[in-house]
Amino acid sequence: MDAAEVTSQDPKSSAFLEHLSRAIIEECGNAKNFDSPIMSLMAPTFSAVHDSLTTFENRADFLVGMKAHFHMFPRAHLEVLNTSSDVDDEAGRADVFLFFRISGVGRGLDLKRECVALMQWERRENGQWMAVRYKGMRGSASFRDI
């Protein structure tokens, strides 16, 4: 691969955005701290959808929805298993992929389910990265690891 084929991906941006994406997911699902300063990295117009669940059109509604969801499942726990990213520093856009497991949810069962999610980021004119979109999909489930 010669220099002309090298992408504009900056490994520092990749690691940084993967870290921030993981922190947002874990702060929602584990700490259940919806007032955390990390939430300010979600744009006010942040939108989110996870499968056929409620679609959120802004950060405020997303945080209210997550608070209600995790209030219903106080034993819920998220474990981020892996992250990867595709960052275009020149364009100021990034996709961070998260693979995680959620447990402690379900109707009377200790449901464990893997999920895959895409957190999309845009860099603002001031250089700050902001999360703008979340898209998630539930994966296979296991009931008590049968």
Residue-wise pLDDT for 31-49, tens only, equals: 788 888 999 999 999 999 9
Strand 93-105 with 77-88, pairing: antiparallel
- Position with higher pLDDT, 125 vs 4: 125
| pLDDT for res 55 | 85
Give the mean pLDDT of the chain.
83
The confidence score (pLDDT) of residue 35 equals 85
Output the pLDDT for position 7.
37
Contact 105, 141 (CB under 8 A): no
The class of domain 6-143 in CATH terms is alpha beta
Q: Indicate if the pLDDT at residue 141 is higher than 80.
A: no
| Residue 13 confidence class, pLDDT cut points 50, 70, 90 | confident
Closest by alpha carbon to 135, among 114, 120, 118?
118
**Average pLDDT for 109-132:** 89
Residue 99 in this model has a pLDDT that exceeds 90: yes
More confident residue, 66 or 122: 122
Cα distances (angstroms) measured from residue 96 to each of 13, 72, 74, 117: 11, 28, 27, 8
